[in-house]
Structure 1
Amino acid sequence: ILGGAYTYARVPAGFWVQDWLELSRNPYDKLGHFMQGLVPALLTREILLRLGFLEPGRMLGFLSVCVALAFSAFYELIEWWVALIAGQGAEDFLGTQGDPWDTQSDMLMALLGATLSVTGLAGLQDRQVARHAKPGAAG
């Protein structure tokens, strides 16, 4: 929503990160796509765990990353459709800032976020799910 209000290339928080890391461009859209991988992967993982579809393990992580990437790919399609409709303002809306590989790097950021969530946060999430499991419930 914030990116839509300012356009991705002009979000003030992105300029703070740009200055802090001495980057050549506003990285707000990359941060957003990282979170677009991290959050859906965690949500997917938790839903699959709580509903008892899968046990903790590789398949749970793999499917969680796949759902996050599917979500991110669909978002990229929506961005493309909006850009086609918007016409001239497409460059600003998309936040590509002249990067011909913007879509691919957005997907990479989502992959990194999703991978971090299923590797670095899996143990914490497993403990929290176990702590909140109902007595006598499976899992």
Structure 2
Amino acid sequence: MNLFVFSRGLTTVFGLYTWPSESELWDMWAGIRNNDGKLAIDGLLQYINQRKKFRRRWVGALASVTIPIHFIYGPLDPVNLYPEFLELYGKTLPWSTMSILDDHHISHYPQIEDAIGSLNAYMGFINSL
């Protein structure tokens, strides 16, 4: 994998208007390359295939947690599609809370695409405890 392949794959899960800058992509790439981290990427990305295979187990683990959980969600997330994702987790995890970021340009990485909105959602959750 090189920076071009990495960037092309990563930007597909960002909102159209919230793509990381070239500098941010370089920083992410440097983080992955540090200390041979790139060697772990294939193993880490196995969760994509495992999501379907172990869905019942993973959702079951979330459903059995006894601590409060809060999801911060970007409505254009191509990995966790809207509104199916909200309906599924609203039924499965009725005790959890969720923030849907207001900007309809936010996608899979709300903490990067809307750092202030994500921080406000997180702080609202923490302050509600």
- TM-score > 0.5 by shorter chain: no
TM-score of the aligned structures, taking structure 2 as reference length: 0.22
Structure (1 or 2) with the greater helix fraction: 1
Who wins on radius of gyration, i.e. which is larger?
1
Structure (1 or 2) with the greater strand fraction: 2
